[in-house]
Structure 1
Amino acid sequence: MYRIGELAKLCEVKTDTLRFYEKHGLLSPLMRTESGYRMYTEEDAERLRFILRAKAVGFTLAEIAELLSIDLDKSNWACADVKGMVDIKLAQVSAKIAELNHFQVSLKRLSDACCGGPESAEHCSILEALESNSAEVKRENHTHQHQNNPNKASCKRKG
């Protein structure tokens, strides 16, 4: 039997994490002592490890609850049911990666279009692109003269 702090230490989580999982119905102590301490069994420790592994691969609390219910009633479920949950999660992660790749390309395009100089942002290509209805990012037209240093590029637009 483990008290809450002992189980938390064993699984390298905070006691608040255990309380959180208890609040959401994922974990419940076998009993409480007369002084009110939560007491957990080795089975609870295994359940917590299951929760932590499922969380580590990206499952939500609701999905973890469903996986736990399947785990408790394995004989009434097929492997295809569990694989289906994993495949749905995999598709969601793949879609998120594609979205993040799109963000990366778009941000790179915005960054590359701007000189990043110290001049006024009046004609900043990033701000203009974000204000525009067009998906196109226009590169700043740099003059290659600066008031004090003719070799320093400027963000000011020509004409």
Structure 2
Amino acid sequence: MKSGGISYFKIGELASLLEMSPRTIRYYEEIGLLNSVKRVEGGKRIYTEKDLQRLKFIKRLKHLGLTLSEMAELEGIYQVHRTNRKVLSRLLELMDGHVAKIDERIQNLTRLKSDILSYREKILTKLEAEDPSKEGT
């Protein structure tokens, strides 16, 4: 829908474009990740291109592993300082923390894989030693 040269989206249209549920969009609004949503008569929400871009950014941050509380923290920083510089600095810190956690998980999974393969070899050796078809050969 267009009004005054500006495109507006109904919540269902926005949800479809973003492949997320209308409930998720409303929840992001409730917790303050999506601000300044406009309402028309009857209280129906309408969303702008800016809202669409904001939700794409939220979706990307979620894909990168940021939690909703971390995203809310970034929003709070922006509301106080009104500059992306502080937000981006904190985002780098958060991402570095997530990379460190991923590295730790990779190390743990590598050790687990090694343990499983070692145990598997022991089981195979035991099965071969107990193979009745090899008795008397």
Q: Is the 8 A contact 2:78 2:84 kept in 1?
A: no
Q: Give the Å deviation of 1:67.
A: 2.8
- Deviations along 1:103-145, one digit per CA (max 9) or x if unpaired, are 2222222333324xxxxxxxxxxxxxxxxxxxxxxx6363120
Higher relative contact order (CA 8 A, sep 6+): 2
Q: For structure 2, list consecutive stretches of 5 or more residues without a partner in the other structure.
A: 1-7
Q: Percent identity?
A: 32
CA distance in 1, matches of 2:31, 2:45: 16
CA distance in 2, matches of 1:29, 1:7: 15
SS of the residue corresponding to residue 41 of structure 2 reads: coil
Q: Is the 8 A contact 1:30 1:40 kept in 2?
A: yes
CA distance in 2, matches of 1:13, 1:57: 17
CA distance in 1, matches of 2:118, 2:31: 43
* Larger strand percent: 2
Q: For structure 1, list consecutive stretches of 5 or more residues without a partner in the other structure.
A: 116-138, 153-159
Q: Give the Å deviation of 1:51.
A: 0.3
TM-score (norm 2): 0.71
Q: Is the 8 A contact 2:78 2:87 kept in 1?
A: no
* Counterpart for residue 26 of structure 1: 33
Report the RMSD for the aligned CA atoms in angstroms: 2.8
Q: 1:75 to 1:35 in 2, by over 3 A?
A: closer
* Counterpart for residue 18 of structure 2: 11
- Deviations along 1:7-44, one digit per CA (max 9) or x if unpaired, are 11122222232133234332246133333422212221
